[in-house]
Structure 1
Amino acid sequence: MGFYDKKRTFLLYQGLLLLFAMLLVFYAADFPSIPVVELVLLGCTLLIAASGLIYGSLASLALSLVVLFLFGTLLIWQEFVSATNEMSLWEIVLWMVVFPAAALISGTFSKWMAGVLAENRELKEKFQSLVTIDEVTKFDNQNRFQLHLEEEFKRTQRTNSPFSLLLIKVKYLDKFEQLYGVKEKNHLLRSLSSILWDKLRITDRKFRIADDTFAVILTHTEEENTADVIRKVEGMLKHHQLSNQKRDITVTLAFGVAHYQAELLDFTEMIQHAQSDLEHYVQ
């Protein structure tokens, strides 16, 4: 869909396709000779149409008025100065109609295309909002994270049972990708997700909320128990083997923790506390 999000790129390809079709027509007609004046007028028409497609009706109409003025000036010059007029009255009227018509048609098409592209972007955004599974790790993504966290927060308010929020960030992941490529980055993320699946409870809800960050909702978990979870995960992934099994590397993780407290107003405060803890984490 990204191609159709760019109006000018899309219209450029359409214009090139139109020119290619015109060349085919000329080729099929064995390239008939066309007077220079008509070639210039045809070029002006295409220029008006291109401006309408790219910049809209107002720009193309303004350009068509300029072309009409120049066309009228040329006719006057031919009539009174050069005394040669190669165009009939019918042809003159035809070109005077063609210029504004090209502006109106191309401007209308541009407006219609802008609406189509806006609708396409809206549908793309809606589609992305419906996608809840991260393709690499198979964890729920950011869209589901806040829904589940809010649900757990409200449940804890009713039952007063403890829970904690754990954020895990793979530090320097962008540099890792530059060194080893996307395939190895995905292998690293899958390794981490596999450890989280194996070492945490089924009831602990797991999410990938950013390219380098995971979140875990630790249900029924007291504050003192989160340190054991962090130590377990960090120890398992401290040494990571590349997918080609040719090299072991050291992975640096950062952790942020927030615990439910009755004085918190809503779940977003837990996210803020965990992110602050994540930023100040020291191994």
Structure 2
Amino acid sequence: MRDNMLTMTNLMIVTLVVITSSMTYFLMGNAEGLVLLLIAGLLMVGSLYFGTLPILMTTLVLFFASGSILFYKVLIGANINQQMQYFLDVFLYYGLALIVLIIVAGKLHEYIMERVQQLRQQEERLTKYVAIDVDTGFDNQTRMMTEVFEEMRRADRYDLNFALVFFKIENYKEFKRLYSADEVLHMWKELARKIELKSRITDKKFRYKEDELVVLLTSTTDEYRDIIYDKFKEVILEHQLLSGKWITLSYRTAFYTYYPHQEQTLEQILIEAESEMKSHVL
């Protein structure tokens, strides 16, 4: 399928080159020919960008208008100057070549758009299957939504609780501006390592957003909130740069406990967590 599409694309490109080369050869002799070449070039670019139909309709309207004017001139016996005679001589052949040029360019546009759509679909599928964040090694947002939803269903089924802890790095954009890409990557690697160090095997970690991590704590309720915050504070506030210098990181945080059979949806939970982070700093 891919080879066939590539062959068709190459064939259409060759056809466009042949047609434009032929038109250039026959029309380059005078100013009128250059005008026709310019029109053909503009229509070809339009077909590549907008597709066949709108440009073809525009061309047919232009042909009809031009043909009507020429026919009227001949009908009333008006004097035909050199420019008009030139257009009469090439009108049929130029028109046919132009229509073929527009159709081929439009088909090439369709193939390009189809290829772009296929690439987007492949990217979406890849995002779903490759659900690991490269910087931290944690599951990404796509996997997080699936995992948390499944945990909610499991909690409802077996009357269990779990908690979600959100850590959003304050001034992350400023950190990226001040430090190199290697330093930013080092920060994420270290932060992930420290969170792993303070988490249980059953806990799940996610890179929810560019500047935000989420930890899903199984069998945990709100009464352990302060203990959990203190445990993470021991390791995530102080960070050593690659240069050896120590800096202090601060976080916007939220703690959400899920109880069995509650009515809130996952989207509502995330909105509530975002609201809590506005007023809670670690």
- Give the TM-score category using the shorter length: 0.7 to 0.9
Aligned-residue identity in percent: 24
**Which range moves more in the overlay, 60-69 or 157-166?**
60-69
Q: Deviations over 1:87-113 (max 9, x none)?
A: 597744211212222233323332333
1: distance between equivalents of 2:215 and 2:224?
14
Residues 1:51 and 2:33 aligned together: no
2:126 aligned residue: 127
Shift of residue 74 of structure 1?
A: 7.6
- The aligned residue for residue 211 of structure 1 is 210
What RMSD, in angstroms, separates the aligned Cα atoms of the two structures? 3.5
> C-alpha separation between the residues in 2 aligned to 1:160 and 1:119?
44
**Counterpart code for 2:180:** G
Deviations 1:148-201 (Å, cap 9, x if unpaired)? 222222322333343211111111111111121333222212111110111211
Counterparts in 2 of 1:62 and 1:152: CA distance versus 1, 3 Å:
closer
Which residue is equivalent to 1:256?
254
Matches within 5 A, 1:175-214: 175-214=174-213
C-alpha change, 1:158 and 1:67, in structure 2 (3 Å) is closer
Asked if residue 42 in structure 1 is aligned to residue 37 in structure 2, the reply is yes
Instruction: Tell me, in whole angstroms, the C-alpha distance in 2 between the residues paired with 1:278 and 1:97.
Output: 66
Query: Which of 252-261 and 232-241 deviates more?
Result: 232-241
> Given residue 127 of structure 2, which amino acid in structure 1 is its aligned partner?
Q
Amino acid at match of 1:38: G
Distance in 1 between the 2:83 and 2:166 partners?
83
Mapped to 1, the partners of 2:83 and 2:45 lie a distance apart of: 31
User: Structure 2 vs 1, CA of residues 67 and 42 (structure 1 numbering), >3 Å: closer, same or farther?
Assistant: farther
Instruction: Give TM-score, length-normalised by structure 1.
Output: 0.77
CA distance in 2, matches of 1:162, 1:108: 57
Query: Contact (CA 8 Å) 2:160, 2:260: kept in 1 or not?
Result: no
For these two proteins, the number of residue pairs brought into alignment is: 261
Counterpart of 2:157 in structure 1 is 158
Q: Following the alignment from structure 2 to structure 1, what is the Cα–Cα distance between the partners of residues 36 and 83?
A: 17
2:3 aligned residue:
none
* Letter aligned with residue 173 of structure 2: D
Q: Secondary structure at the match of 2:146?
A: helix
- Counterpart CA distance in 2 for 1:141 and 1:261 is 24
Gaps of 5+ in 1: 1-13
> Counterpart amino acid of 2:256?
A
Equivalent residue, structure 2, for 1:5? none
| Counterpart residue type for residue 40 of structure 1 | V
TM-score by length of 2: 0.77
Aligned equivalent of 1:275: 274
Whether contact under 8 Å (1:230, 1:255) holds in the other structure is no
CA distance in 2, matches of 1:201, 1:73: 84
Q: In structure 1, give the amino acid aligned to 2:52.
A: S
Alignment check: 8 A CA contact 1:132 1:140 kept? yes
**Aligned twin of 2:9:** none
